Amino acid sequence: MRIVSTWSFGLAANEAAWPHLVAGKALDAVEAACIYAEMAPDIDSVGFGGLPDSSGRVSLDGCVMLSPSCCGGVAGVRTHLHPVSVARRVMERTPHLLLVGQDADDFADREGFARAELLAPGAREAFERWRVEGGVIDQSRDGASRSLPADEARWRHHDTIGCLALDARGTLAGACSTSGTPYKIPGRVGDSPIIGQGLYVEPAVGAATATGTGELIAGICGAFLVVESMRRGATPLEAVRDAVLRVAASYRLEPQHQAVFLALSKDGTFAHAALRPGYRTSVMDLAGPRAVEADFIALPEAPTESGAHAR
Ligand code: GLY
């Protein structure tokens, strides 16, 4: 029995999830973890605290997954706070897998979800500064440090909550929730709501999720790649390491880029690899809560101003 969530803010999210895990309800557990993050005003990459797009409006993406035949997602939600819960409803009540934009919000209305204000005061202030200062993102100040310890915030440019859980009955589930890249072009969607990119679960094998720059993760179908490697015999650590190395080899990287893959096998073994330092996974199991450094970092040195890596 174990839940793993991306970043240190996942510690509190895991605590919210734990009773569901003990009750043998992995899907409720990962949903509860994401709901916690979506409600926290100091988490600036998810839900209510999330930084807006370049028009000043927040849009949220999320998905849930139990298996290839049991998953759902929403993208570009603007009037509902809990994309994971709406995604779960897509999974449970429709023949579809992904709803987007206004139609996803309309679906949430029809399903009885309450509308909510998505722009927290702190995120609004950060947006106003960003607009006045000509689009320069100062991550040391623009909200990035509000939800993370300084050594994570120093490296971090953008993130997402991804959660994987193995419950007391041996069921695996996963969920992802994000507000996407800060000040993105309106309409941009990253990896998080897309099955196979930000999240993948294959019950007989294991599960994987991702956080970081969605474009890097999406382009290699990251979460699917990790689970498929495991299905073909790789250990969780080999699978996540190969995925970050694939990211490093596939793109011209910029200093703000980060990509992290987190895997949980069906026997409860977890592993996590990051493109850059400054990442921790929050773990909760019978040994208690803890935040753990990545097993493997592809580019351990600081990027230079030009984007090349010091070696
Ligand atoms: N990883 C979340 C996103 O890029 O939107």
The model's pLDDT over 14-70, given as tens digits with 9 standing for 90+, comes to: 999 999 999 999 999 999 999 999 999 989 999 999 999 999 999 999 999 999 999
- At residue 148, the pLDDT reads 57
CA of 167 to the centre of ligand 1 (A): 26
Least confident of 71-80, 133-142, 176-185, 298-307: 133-142
Q: What is the DSSP string of 67-95?
A: ETTEEEEEEEE-S-S-HHHHHHHHHHH-S
CA of 77 to the centre of ligand 1 (A): 14
The CATH topology of domain 2-297 is Glutamine Phosphoribosylpyrophosphate, subunit 1, domain 1 (3.60.20)
Q: Quick one: average pLDDT of 172-193?
A: 97
- At residue 310, the pLDDT reads 34
- At residue 212, the pLDDT reads 95
Separation between Cα atoms, residue 226 and residue 263, nearest integer Å: 7
Query: Residue 179: what are its φ and ψ, rounded to 5°?
Result: -100, 5
pLDDT category of residue 287 using cuts at 50, 70 and 90: very high
Please determine, for residue 12, whether its predicted confidence score (pLDDT) is greater than 50: yes
CA of 295 to the centre of ligand 1 (A): 22
pLDDT: is 301 or 298 the higher one? 298
Nearest CA to ligand 1 atom 4: 214
Span between the terminal Cα atoms of the chain, in Å: 40
Question: According to the 3-state scheme, what is the secondary structure of 94-141?
Answer: CCCCEEEHHHHHHHHHHCCCCCCCCCCHHHHHHHHHHHHCCCCCCCCC
User: Which atom, in ligand 1's list, is nearest to the CA of 198?
Assistant: 1
Please determine, for residue 304, whether its predicted confidence score (pLDDT) is greater than 90: no
Q: Quick one: average pLDDT of 175-186?
A: 96
What Rg do the C-alpha atoms of the chain give, in angstroms? 18
Is the C-beta atom of 6 inside 6 A of ligand 1? no
Q: Which of 6, 79, 94, 160 is catalytic?
A: 160
Q: Are the C-beta atoms of residues 83 and 176 closer than 8 Å to each other?
A: no
- At residue 141, the pLDDT reads 44
- At residue 308, the pLDDT reads 43
- At residue 21, the pLDDT reads 96
Query: What burial letters (b/e) apply to 146-179, b meaning 16+ CB within 10 Å?
Result: bbbeeebbebbbbbbbbbbbbbeeebbbbbbbbb
Q: Are the C-beta atoms of residues 4 and 142 closer than 8 Å to each other?
A: no
pLDDT: is 303 or 53 the higher one? 53
- At residue 147, the pLDDT reads 56
Is the C-beta atom of 179 inside 6 A of ligand 1? no
Please determine, for residue 178, whether its predicted confidence score (pLDDT) is greater than 50: yes
Per-residue pLDDT tens for 88-134?
999 999 999 999 999 999 999 999 999 999 999 999 999 999 999 87
- At residue 133, the pLDDT reads 83
Is the C-beta atom of 193 inside 6 A of ligand 1? no
Per-residue pLDDT tens for 212-269?
999 999 999 999 999 999 999 999 999 999 999 999 999 999 988 999 999 999 999 9
Lookup: tokens for 33: 């973890």
Q: What kind and span of H or E run contains 202?
A: strand 199-202
- At residue 143, the pLDDT reads 47
Is the C-beta atom of 160 inside 6 A of ligand 1? yes
Is the C-beta atom of 49 inside 6 A of ligand 1? no
Give the predicted TM-score (pTM) of the model. Answer: 0.93
Strand duo 199-202 + 206-212: pairing: antiparallel
Strand duo 70-77 + 98-100: pairing: parallel
Is the C-beta atom of 191 inside 6 A of ligand 1? yes
User: Which atom, in ligand 1's list, is nearest to the CA of 45?
Assistant: 2
Query: Residue 116: what are its φ and ψ, rounded to 5°?
Result: -145, 155
